[in-house]
Amino acid sequence: MLQKVLSTFFIVLFILSLVGVLLTKSIDRSDYKTKDYYLETISDLENLEPNFSEGEFWQVGWSKVNATPEQPANLVGYAPRGKYEFVLDSSFVRVLVVGNGVQNIAILNYELLIVHPYLAERIKTSIENQGLPIDFTYFTATHTHSGIGGYIPGLMGKVAFGGYDEFIVEMLEQKTLEGLESALASQDTAFINYQISQTDTLVYNRFIKGGQVDPFIRQLTFQKKSGERAAFLTYSAHPTTLAVKFMGLSGDYPHYLMEKLEDKMYDFALFAAGVVGSQGPARTGNQPEHTEAFAEAVYQQSIRNVKQISPVSKEKIAYSKLPIALREAHYKLGENVRLNPWIFESAFGKSNAHFDVLLLGNTLLLSSSGEISGVFMKDWEALAKSRGLNLILTTFNGGYIGYITPDEYYDYDYHEARGMNWYGPYNGAYFNELINGLILKSW
């Protein structure tokens, strides 16, 4: 009897051990600078040759197109919630086309949680097939946690991100093309200003009480010869002002902020999520009235606390894409244990990790595939200023790799560092080096 019990015990132990070997791996903490992925990306950075052009004037056009589904769609953000039960705000695709008479850049914006690689590729292909005179597309999202899903294929998309609905993807493609055609048709000569404003107590560090934040609203403002005005702005506070169980379709505070700007100051406004990692909104509640109040506070402080306004006078455009190679996926299960990379990659698909790099005059825009923590921004902006550059960072560029957090947080029990830092330790230092390198390129 004892022999039979022991035999069963060892068989079960063997099976469990085998399952453990198949499903898990240890966390790789070796020096990232010795890895092939690092050497490959640094080589690409050193050899990066942006596409340059210089014109004699700025040309700007814009449009916004209602992209609210005809029927309720699944919500994306927080956790799976099913289809929205009502429409609190209509959802829009916003398009800003900036040219210098030689090249046109399209800044595309969606009231979505992220711009998934599949959606971005579909849209870029549609633009090419339509033959639109767009030389470079720069994707952005508001990062609302109460927006529509349906544009994320694969297992994880089905389980956690609202699934896949071909109608939604086709609708977003069509609305983008419609917006681009309208924006191109409305292009007119214009001048551009860079502006930075400071907010007070509206953003907090989600990791450390009283920790470093990025409290600045950075924006480009455009005025056509006709007098029409537009704003492209970024901010770091996470659009998470509504309750986790909220069942309405909403663009969260960015939607209301854009509405206020369009009602009171501009003919068009486009909000792109900035360095939202570890940065939370200091709202007073989680109901729609609190969302509107937060947007009003951001608006009021943005016009009262202006720190800099300067012209973007040199009509130079430069753009490029820097692919980012990464170490194996590191979805953490414990302090030194991660999910086997093949399982993670089967569930999530390709990450399309990259930086989009766009120079407009003396303003450098960098768009990341990772949600970068706002604690990095102060040093990057100082470096950019030493090079005579204004710096704007955005995220959700048609790639997605989770969060990029300071390395000292990697083993802390923070959601962003534990469950959403998908590609292992040292990504903070890695991304810091890449962004510094992009700033230091000979612009």
What does the alpha-carbon distance between residue 308 and residue 346 come to, in Å, rounded to a whole number? 47
Q: What is the pLDDT of residue 157?
A: 79
Q: What was the pLDDT predicted at 5?
A: 39
Q: What is the mean pLDDT of residues 121-144?
A: 98
CA distances from 157 to 160, 269, 281 (A): 6, 30, 26
Asked if residue 10 has pLDDT above 50, the reply is no
Rounded Cα distance between 229 and 64, Å, is 14
| pLDDT confidence band for 13 (50 / 70 / 90) | very low
Average the pLDDT over each of 165-174, 257-266, 308-317, 337-346 and give the range with the smallest value. Answer: 337-346
Tokens 């505070």 locate to 253
Give residue-wise pLDDT tens across range 42-53: 999 999 999 999
For a pLDDT cut of 90, what percent of the chain falls above it?
A: 78
Buried b (16+ CB within 10 A) or exposed e, 293-332: bbbebbbebbeeeeeeeeebeebbbbbbbbebbbbbbbbb
pLDDT of 95 higher than 50: yes
Report long-range pairs for 84-88 (Cβ below 8 Å, ≥24 apart): 84/146, 84/148, 84/247, 84/248, 84/249, 85/247, 85/248, 86/247, 86/248, 86/249, 87/248, 87/249, 88/146, 88/248, 88/249, 88/250, 88/288
Mean pLDDT of the chain: 92
pLDDT band at 83 (very low <50, low <70, confident <90, very high): very high
How far apart CA 336 and CA 172 sit, in angstroms, is 41
Q: What is the pLDDT of residues 273-319, one digit of tens each?
A: 999 999 999 999 999 999 999 999 999 999 999 999 999 989 999 99
Calculate mean pLDDT across residues 224-240.
97
Based on the number of CB atoms within 10 Å of its own CB, is 404 exposed (0-12), middle (13-18) or buried (19 or more)? buried
Is residue 321 pLDDT above 60, yes or no?
yes
Q: Is the pLDDT of residue 16 over 50?
A: no
Of residues 80 and 173, more confidence is placed in 173
What is the reported pLDDT for 38?
97
Dump pLDDT digits (tens) for 234-276.
Answer: 999 999 999 999 999 999 999 999 999 999 999 999 999 999 9
Question: Which helix (DSSP H) or strand (DSSP E) does residue 75 occupy?
Answer: strand 75-76
Say what the pLDDT of residue 79 is: 83
pLDDT of residue 1: 53
272 in helix, strand or coil?
strand
CB 103 within 8 A of CB 112: no
Residues in contact with 208: Cβ distance below 8 Å, sequence separation at least 6, in sequence order? none
Instruction: Flag whether pLDDT at 3 surpasses 80.
Output: no
In whole angstroms, what is the distance from residue 171 CA to residue 158 CA? Answer: 19
| Contact residues for 413 (Cβ-Cβ < 8 A; gap 6+) | none
Alpha helices in 24-137 (DSSP H): 36-46, 117-130
- Residue 182: C-alpha distances to residues 62, 97, 106, 171 (Å): 7, 10, 12, 16
Q: How far apart are CA 366 and CA 346, in angstroms?
A: 29
Q: Tokens for 351?
A: 């990450």
Mean pLDDT, residues 20-45 taken together: 88
Is 60 a residue whose pLDDT tops 90?
yes
Could you tell me if 165 and 75 are in contact, meaning their C-beta atoms sit under 8 angstroms apart? no
Helices and strands of the chain, counted as H and E runs: 11, 25
Residue corresponding to tokens 């706002």: 374
